[in-house]
Structure formats: structure tokens, C-alpha cells
Homo-oligomer: A and B are copies of this chain.
């Protein structure tokens, strides 16, 4: 079974999950870590706990806030395992893309590739897009 873990510095993870649930509803295959919020938080211990919770047939896709940050770096020590995947640059279109095909038949590589494309294409300059569309309309 594929599972998602949304993991960030601070309450970005719990915040985006609140927003995700408003749009997509509850999903028990998605968990979250808001790191360094509680005193004594230990990222290494949290990562180990999440990895050890996995069953034999599970895969875990970790979605982290930023490349080079301590969340992505801590989990990257597990990346040799076929069961562990890490994506950085968490945004809502990426998360929706991952969640909506999480239990579908597409391969994990394809799932990740499609969701990354959704995440990237969802970052849009709306003013530019509206101006370009109005240019197209004027051309016809």
C-alpha cells in the first residue's frame, strides 16, 4: 500500500493538510510531521519511527517543504530503500496529484512524475495567463 507523509519545518504541514481536507476530504493514508514545533523534537527519531511503522508491502512517499532542508536531508538517508521516495517543494497541486492516484494502478514512478508535473504547472502568474488568453482571443 502506498502512503504519503507530509513533513515540514513548522506548521506548514498541518496547515496545508487542513486546506487539503477542505478540498479533498479525510484520507487516512496521509500523515504529517510539523517539525521543531514542540521542544525536544528529534527529527532523526521521528523519521525512524515513520520508517519502522511501514509494513512489508508498504511504500512511503515523503513530501517535504524544501530541498536541502533538514527534513529532506534526514529522510534521504533511507533513499536507497525501494520503499522510500522523497519529493521536495510541497504545494497543493502536487499533494492533490499524489493523493488522487495513491491507490490507483499507476506505478509509483508514474504517480510521482505526474504529480510533480501538476505541482509545477500549478505555479502560475495569473495576470500573465489572463493577458495571453485575451491576446489569443483578439487574434481570432
B-binding residues in A (CB < 8 A): 8-16, 18-19, 21-23, 34, 36, 65-67, 69, 72, 76, 79, 84-94, 96, 112-113, 116, 119-120, 122-127, 130
Contact = CB atoms under 8 A, between A and B. Distances in A.
How many copies the complex holds: the figure is: 2
Given A14-B11, A23-B9, A119 B123 contact: yes
B11 A19 contact: yes
A66 B89 CA distance: 15
A90 B87 contact: no
Given A89-B122, A91-B123, A9 B19 contact: yes
A85 B127 contact: yes
B116 A123 contact: yes
